[in-house]
Amino acid sequence: MTQTVFVLNGPNLNLLGTREPEIYGSDTLADIEAALTEQAKALGLAIDFRQTNHEGVLVDWLHEARAAGAKAVLLNAAAYTHTSVALLDAIKAIELPVIEVHLSDPLTREEFRHISYVGMAAVDEVKGLGARSYAVALDKAAAL
């Protein structure tokens, strides 16, 4: 049976392509989803790719990933990365490998981005590679 990797995206990532392209690049989220879908096929995996602007929806989707028996989760929680104890608790609760993903490298940016609640529970992270961060993270998930 084909294993599924959930790819969960948080607030404002629906605006990729036009949102601060000097930081996040010019790929849209649809571009990233299309490339990742092809990559997943080549790896013998499926992806379930989603975006929401709402913190609690991300929590619900993490729970759903476990209920669905997902192989792993790639999580770009965007700004909630730096604020959300609820996401930290959810990642701990679901006992699935979660890989933290960022297009930019938050550690080279404002100090408020240096804390990562997601990173306190994630098994790995990929950041600073633009859209390629997702591709590298999917390769890592495939190797788990």
The yes or no reply on residue 106 touching ligand DQA (CB under 6 A) is: yes
Q: How far is CA 31 from CA 99, 131, 136, in A?
A: 20, 9, 16
Task: Report the residue from 103, 118, 121, 131 that binds ligand DQA according to the rule CB under 6 A.
Answer: 103
**Which residues in 107-123 are b (16+ Cβ under 10 Å) and which e?**
eeeeeebeebbbbebbe
**Considering beta carbons, is residue 68 or 108 the nearer one to ligand DQA?**
108
Among 38-46, 53-61, 101-109, 134-142, which window interacts with ligand DQA (CB under 6 A)?
A: 101-109
- Closest separation in Å from C-beta 38 to ligand DQA: 21
SS3 62: helix
Instruction: Kindly name the residue from 24, 80, 117, 134 that is annotated as catalytic.
Output: 24
- Residue nearer to ligand DQA on the CB measure, 71 or 102: 102
Q: What positions carry a catalytic annotation?
A: 24, 102
